[in-house]
Each structure stands twice: as C-alpha cells, then as structure tokens.
Structure 1
Amino acid sequence: EYTATITLSEASTDFAVGDLTLVNATATLTGSGTTYTVTLTPVADGTVSVTVPAGAFTDGAGNLNTAS
C-alpha cells in the first residue's frame, strides 16, 4: 500500500474517491475540507499512479479544480 496526502488550496465539500483517476490501483480516500489522505493498493506488479483531472470537484464558491 502507498499513502499520499492531498492538500487543496480551498475547501471542498464534494471531493470523493470517484474523482481520482487511478492506474493499476484501487483507492480509499479520507479527510475533509482542504486535507485528504489517499491510500493506494496496487492491483498488479508495476507502476501505480493517481491523478485528479480538471473539473472533477468544486470549492465552496463553486469553482472547479485544476488538474493535478
């Protein structure tokens, strides 16, 4: 397993594990506001990656996120 911290510049109320793009991994996401922890579990041997595409979630003012 791999763990990473995701820090947002503005608090979000709708950031969820489904907003993540995963390669060769499953994920769990915990946290709220501006700080989240993602735990990645590899599906098979090889490279694991996680990204967040632009427009996946919003901040409190309704602004969409930029890509990670």
Structure 2
Amino acid sequence: MILANNHFPWSNSTMMRPDLVQQMLDHIGNDLFYIDTVEKAGGFEIDILGMPKGNGLTQEQA
C-alpha cells in the first residue's frame, strides 16, 4: 500500500489509482480481479507493453 500511494516522479498521480486498489481488495481468495481488456488497462492508466503504438489505420486497412 505504501508503494501504491507513492507518486510518480514525473506526474501528480499515484503509482496505483485508488479505484484499482479498491477493486483488487474487493476480491477475496481465488476470486481475482483481472485487467483483461484494453479498456480496463486504459481506465486504470496501465501501460500495455509488447506491442508498438499504432498510427491509426492505413488507407488499405480502412
């Protein structure tokens, strides 16, 4: 909890958003809270690593 409440050196936000900590604590035992969608990751300001950022659709893809 101490680490979660620390601030990022480059912003005013905490390491973990309070609403994410609350969601995690609401789940007990094997009932885990999963970040399993891009929307959840974005909502909790979690960076997704491993895929390059897209520049949108090309004309062919559109």
Question: Whose helix proportion is higher, 1 or 2?
Answer: 2
Structure 1 and Structure 2 fold alike (TM over 0.5): no
Q: Using structure 2 for the length normalisation, give the TM-score.
A: 0.25
Question: Whose strand proportion is higher, 1 or 2?
Answer: 1
Larger Rg: 2
Q: Using structure 1 for the length normalisation, give the TM-score.
A: 0.24
